[in-house]
Structure formats: structure tokens, C-alpha cells
Amino acid sequence: MFKQFKNIDTAFRYVRSFCVFVVAGSFSLSCYAIYKTYQVTEKSKETLYILANGKILEAVAGERKDNIPVEARDHIKTFHQYFFTLDPDDKVIQANITKALYLADGSAKRTYDNFKESGYYANIISGNISQSIEVDSIQVNISQYPFYWRCHATEKIIRATSIVTRDLITEGYLRSVSRSDNNPHGFLIERWNTIENKDIKVETR
């Protein structure tokens, strides 16, 4: 009789241990499933699908701090391309300058006003001159805010009888502003200053 009770007690302990094991395993599996579901959900939030020219392109979203140097350099490059790309057409000049002024503060507006008052744009139109710019390098220091930057670029001024190549070095600071259609990077150039703008080559056409 005691042996029978002993067997029942042993069986009960086995069943209890098995139940505890099953419950612990189920709990662990549930926690793992919840964790993986959370991971997949967060990853899906970072994946964007863009429709361009009838094709679906996949893009990955990231924190802005990871892209600040890239966005800052592109903002500075875009500003210089708009400001210094000129053709002998008043509407083209005005359109490019307007786009450039959305990307910078009053320092760019003052430079534009000085050029305009000196007859720079009038001379481009009357002399059928075209001006283009190639940005060679941009250094941005993001260790301190606002971000200091320096840009090295090459200008080409095409006249009827010559092509002038100029070395252009500018500097300034970047501060963050709200993004918009006119300013997609969300930066504003401040204290823009031209360090050097000199002729390095003149070619006869």
C-alpha cells in the first residue's frame, strides 16, 4: 500500500515537473515570438517604397544624425550651383538666384544685391556670357553647432572670345530649419563668405 502511494507521489512529481517545463517553454516561445514581431515591425517602418517612372524602388529610412554630413554637403553644393550657374537670360538668372536664396540667409542676398548694383548680371546678358560651376570638395565640421563648412569649386566663364577658369573658395555655417519644398534638406547657410575667387586659366576660343 505504501509502495502504491510512493508511486503515485513520484508520478505526481513527474507530471508537475513536466507541466512546469511546458509552461516555461511556452512562455519563452511567446516572448521570443513577441520580440521577433517587434523587430520585424520596426524594420518595416524603416523601409519605404517609392514609385518613380512606373517602377517601385525600395528605400531605407534612417536617423537624421546619420545623414547630416551627406545632406549638409548636398545642401551647400546645391546652393553654389544655383547661385553661380548663370546664362544670358534674365529669367534663368532670376529663377536660379531665387532658388539659391531659399537656402541661405541675408549674407547671400547682400552678395546678390552687390552683384546686381555693380551690373554683373546685366553684363552677362549683354555679353552673352555663360557661367557654370563644378564643386570640387566640401568640408563640414559637425562637432560643433552651427556647423562650419568650407567649399572648394571651379568656375567657368564662357565669353564670345575666351573661356576663363576661376578658383573659388567659400565658407560659412549651417543651422537647422524646417524642411520644405524650397529647402528639402532643412539647412540654412549663414555668414556666407568668399575667401578666394581668382583666375587660374584663360583660353582663347
Can you give the pLDDT at residue 198?
Answer: 93
126 in the same domain as 34: no
CATH of the domain at 77: 3.10.450.230
169 in the same domain as 89: yes
Share of the chain above pLDDT 70, in %: 79
Residue 53 belongs to a domain: no
By the 8 A CB rule, do 73 and 140 touch?
yes
Pick from 175, 166, 158, 149: nearest CA to 124: 158
150 in the same domain as 86: yes
Query: For residue range 138-181, what is the model confidence (pLDDT) as tens digits?
Result: 999 999 999 999 999 999 999 989 999 999 999 999 999 999 99
Query: For residue range 118-137, what is the model confidence (pLDDT) as tens digits?
Result: 999 999 999 999 999 999 99
Can you give the pLDDT at residue 5?
Answer: 46
Separation of alpha carbons 116 and 159, rounded Å: 19
Residue 56 belongs to a domain: no
Can you give the pLDDT at residue 66?
Answer: 61
Domain span holding position 35: 2-48
Residue 63 has pLDDT above 80, yes or no: no
Residue 142 belongs to a domain: yes
87 in the same domain as 178: yes
71 in the same domain as 41: no
Residue 43 belongs to a domain: yes
35 in the same domain as 86: no
Can you give the pLDDT at residue 2?
Answer: 42
Quote the number of domains for the chain: 2
Instruction: Kindly state the DSSP code that residue 183 receives in the 8-state scheme.
Output: -
35 in the same domain as 77: no
Can you give the pLDDT at residue 14?
Answer: 72
User: Facing residues of 40 across strands?
Assistant: none
What ranges make up the beta strands (E) of 85-186? 130-141, 147-158, 162-176
- What angle do helix axes 90-101 and 64-84 make, rounded to 10 degrees? 150
Query: In a 10 Å sphere around its CB, with 0-12 CB exposed, 13-18 middle and 19+ buried, how is residue 156 labelled?
Result: middle
How many helices (H) and strands (E) are present in the chain, helices listed first?
5, 6
pLDDT band at 56 (very low <50, low <70, confident <90, very high): low
Residue 148 belongs to a domain: yes
Can you give the pLDDT at residue 32?
Answer: 77
Residue 54 belongs to a domain: no
Share of the chain above pLDDT 90, in %: 65
177 in the same domain as 123: yes
Query: In a 10 Å sphere around its CB, with 0-12 CB exposed, 13-18 middle and 19+ buried, how is residue 30 labelled?
Result: exposed
Grid coordinates belonging to 38? 517587434
Cα radius of gyration (the chain) = 32
Q: CA triplet 95, 96, 102: central angle to 5 degrees? A: 95
Can you give the pLDDT at residue 61?
Answer: 56
pLDDT band at 189 (very low <50, low <70, confident <90, very high): very high
34 in the same domain as 99: no
- 177 vs 30, higher pLDDT: 177
